[in-house]
Amino acid sequence: MSALLWLVLVTVPSPQVVWIATPRGETSVPVTTERGTAAVAAPRLGPPLGVTVVLDGSRVTVGLSGAVFVFQLGAPFVRTGGVVYGLVGEPYVARDTVFLPLHWLADCVPRALGGRYRWDPTSAAGAGRLVELPIASAVTAAAPPGVASVPTLPPTSAPGPVSAPNPITGLRQRHAVVIDPGHGGVDPGNPGRYFPSHLAEKDITLAIGRLLRAELVRRAIAATLTRSTDTLIDLTDRGALCRAACDLFVSVHVNAMPDGRRVDRVSGVETYFLSDAKTEDQQRVAQMENEAISFETGTSSAATGPLGFILRDLQLNEYLRESAQLAQLVQDSASRIHPGGDRGVQQAGFTVLTTARRPAILVETGFATNRTDAAFLASSLGQHKIASAIANGIVAYLLELERKRAIAVPARGR
Ligand SMILES: [Zn+2]
C-alpha cells in the first residue's frame, strides 16, 4: 500500500507555470488547476507559439505550426490529421477565455508535430517546458527518413513477438480482448420493447458477443467472453478478467429510453468510456447498467473504501486516454453501419469498467425502444454487422497501439 500512496503523492503536484522555449526566446505561461486538471489559457500561447484559436459553438479549432487541432468543449480528446488523441483534462471556457489541457501541450503536440516540438518535463521549478526546435535543426533531423516525423516512424523496437504483418489486419503482435456480453441469467437487462417476445437485452448482447469473438478470431486476435451462456457474472468480476494478457475490454449492451414522450424516437449507437457521467442522459445509462448490482449476492473482488477509491482514481488516469481513443475508433466504425445514427462517444461511471486493468469501453449498440434499432439488433444480419464493425474499430485501435509501442523506447513497454 505504501508504494501505491507514494505514487499518489508524486502525481499530485502540478506545475504553476509552463515554459515555452523557442528560437525567439523563452516565455512562461501560467497554469491553472481550477477545474481539477492542469490547463492553460489558449490566448497566452498566441505570442510565443503563434497559436490561433477559433471557438464555434462547442468546437474549438486550434492552429499550430501548420497543424489543425479540433477540440470539443468538455470532451477529453482532440483530433488532428485524422488521429484522435485522448487527453487528461478537457478544454473549457472561463471568463470569456478558452482553456486547453496542459496535457495537450505536453503530450499531443510533441507526438503530432514531433519534428518541431519536444516536451521536457524535468526543467527547473517543477514546471514543464515545451521546446520549439529551430527550423534548421528540424530540417536536419528530417533528413534520415522516418526519424523526424514521430507519428510515421516505422516499428523498430516494439516489445513482444514481432513478425510479418497479418494480411487481413496489418497487425504484427499478438493481442487479446475480453468481450463482456451485458447482463445474463436472472438479470435480463432491458426487456426490449420492440424485440420479438422471447428476446431481452441479455440475449442480444450474448449473440453479438459470440459473433464479435468470431470476428476477432478471424482477424487473428485472441478473444475471451466473460460469459458464453445465459448466466449472471458480478459486474466487478467481469472487468477483472482483463488483466495481464489482455489488451482491452469491451462490454456490449442495448440501450432503452424510459417511458415518456421521446421513448420511440431516440435511436442510434453510442460508445462509453469510464469517467464521471456528465449529462443527465449519460447518468441515466450508467444507472441502468449499474443496476445489475442489485441482482448480485455475496462478495466480489472490488476494492472498497478509501483504498478502492485511490485504486480506481489511479486506474482512471492511466487508461483514460487509451479508453477515449478506443471508444472513438469503435464508435466511428459502428456508426457507419448503424441504421439509427451516430450518438457519439460518451463518458459515464460504469461499475463494469472500473475493474478492468486495461482500456475499457461499453458499447450501447442501439435502442430496444426504437422499432428500427430493435429490428436491426434482433436480426442475424444486424448482429453480424455490429460485431464486424466493433472488430474493425478494435483493429484500428490495436494498429495505433502497435505504432505507439514502436515509438516508445523498449524500457517503456508494458
Ligand atoms: Zn445493458
Per-residue pLDDT tens over the stretch 198-225: 999 999 999 999 999 999 999 999 999 9
Calpha distance 192→292 (Å, rounded): 16
CA distance 123 to 110: 16
Q: Which residues of 185-223 are buried (b: 16+ CB within 10 A; e: fewer)?
A: eebbbbebbbbeeebbbbbbbbbbbbbbbebbeebebeb
Residue 76 alpha carbon to ligand 1 centre in Å: 24
CA of 185 to the centre of ligand 1 (A): 13
Distance 155 CA to ligand 1 centre (A): 39
Read off the pLDDT of residues 290-337 as tens digits, 9 standing for 90 and up: 777 666 544 344 444 444 544 455 555 567 778 889 999 999 999 999
Residues at Cβ < 5 Å from ligand 1 ion: 182, 189, 253, 289
Q: Give me ligand 1 centre to Cα 407, in Å.
A: 38
The pLDDT value given to residue 53: 83
Q: How many CB atoms lie within 10 A of CB 260?
A: 7
CA distance 272 to 381: 24
> How far apart, in whole angstroms, are the C-alpha atoms of residue 319 and residue 321?
6
**C-alpha of residue 357 to centroid of ligand 1, in Å:** 21
Distance from Cα 321 to the centre of ligand 1, integer Å = 24
CA of 311 to the centre of ligand 1 (A): 25
Q: How remote is the CA of residue 157 from the centroid of ligand 1, in Å?
A: 41
Q: How many Å apart are CA 356 and CA 394, to the nearest integer?
A: 16
pTM (2 decimals)? 0.58
Residue 328 backbone zone (phi > 0: left; psi -120 to 50: alpha; other: beta): alpha
pLDDT score for 158: 35
Query: 189 CA distance to ligand 1 centroid (A)?
Result: 5
pLDDT value, residue 123: 55
Cβ–Cβ under 8 Å, residues 370 and 264: yes
Residues in the chain: 414
CA of 275 to the centre of ligand 1 (A): 17
Q: Which three cell numbers stand for residue 389?
A: 464493425
Q: What is the pLDDT of residue 233?
A: 85
Q: How far is the CA of 190 from the centre of ligand 1 (A)?
A: 7
Nearest-angstrom CA–CA distance, 310 and 186: 32
Question: How would you class 111 by CB atoms within 10 Å of its CB: exposed for 0-12, middle for 13-18, buried for 19 or more?
Answer: middle
Residue with cell 492511466: 318
Backbone angles phi, psi at 366, to 5 degrees: 150, 180
Measure 251 CA to ligand 1 centroid, in angstroms.
9
**Mean pLDDT, each 10-residue run in order, the chain (414 residues):** 43 65 83 84 85 82 83 81 77 90 86 82 66 58 34 33 79 93 93 92 97 95 92 82 83 93 91 76 80 56 46 58 91 97 88 76 96 97 97 96 75 42
Q: At residue 119, what are phi and psi to the nearest 5 degrees?
A: -105, 130
Q: Considering just the CA atoms, what is the radius of gyration of the chain in Å? A: 22
DSSP 40-99: EEGGGGHHHH--EEEEETTEEEEEETTEEEEEETT-SEEEETTEEEE-SS--EEETTEEE
Q: Which amino acid is at 158?
A: A
Residue showing cell 449499474: 290
pLDDT of residue 330: 97
How far, in Å, from the CA of 63 to the mean position of ligand 1? 40
Number of H helices, E strands in the chain: 12, 18
* Core vs surface per residue 7-40: b (16+ CB within 10 A) or e: eeeeeeebbebbbbbbeeeebbbebeeeeebbbb
Pull the grid cell for residue 351. 461499475
Amino acid 295: pLDDT: 63
Query: Cell for 68?
Result: 489543425
Using alpha carbons only, what angle is made at residue 123 by residues 86 and 144, rounded to the nearest 5 degrees? 65
Q: Identify the pLDDT of residue 64.
A: 86
How many angstroms separate the CA atoms of 213 and 177, rounded? 9
> Given this model, what pLDDT does residue 127 score?
61
Distance in Å, CA 387 to ligand 1 centroid: 16
